[in-house]
Amino acid sequence: LAIIGSQTAVSRANLARLSRHRSIRVAIRSTATAWRDTPDWGAERLAIGFDMPPLAPEAADRAVRTALADLLQHRPKPRTVLVVGGDTLRRVLDTAAATSVDVHGAWAPGIAVSRVADGSWAGSWLYSMSGSFDDVGLVEAIAEDDRCSARS
């Protein structure tokens, strides 16, 4: 599972890279209240991203949290999740009722590797990075279903 919440040019490029792989279903939240297409919640490999018009900070926060609530309602706990964007990471952890993560190191400089310690995603591996940090290698590892294990 990949959650690319940042709307930076780098994040949009990473989402585009993931969408080129046939085995990955991509769901785009295109407005504060709607998905561009109905998400394939049952897809084995899913990436969600955001391509919304500019919103006030509070409205953007509500829109992302609503999308994440949809995700948690329709999908089982992920084995591994990549979260792109610091604000998105906070929202993901809040939505999953997680209050802490156990840090295991870095996949590469700027890409933290952790395990969710509690909440509904307890035990899930978590890879997190800034929305403006470009690491094509991580995106390609995800696309190749390597679960980022080669460098963790």
Q: Each residue of 63-119: pLDDT tens digit?
A: 999 999 999 999 999 999 989 888 999 999 999 999 999 999 988 788 899 999 999
Q: Each residue of 1-54: pLDDT tens digit?
A: 999 987 778 888 888 888 888 888 999 999 889 999 999 999 988 999 988 888
Candidates 66, 79, 82, 74; CA nearest to 121 is: 79
Residue 87, burial from CB neighbour count under 10 angstroms (0-12, 13-18, 19+): middle
- Contacts by residues 120-124 (CB-CB < 8 Å, ≥ 24 positions apart): 120/72, 120/77, 120/96, 121/77, 121/78, 121/81, 121/96, 122/77, 122/98, 123/77, 124/77, 124/78, 124/79, 124/80, 124/81
Considering the entire predicted model, what is its pTM? 0.87
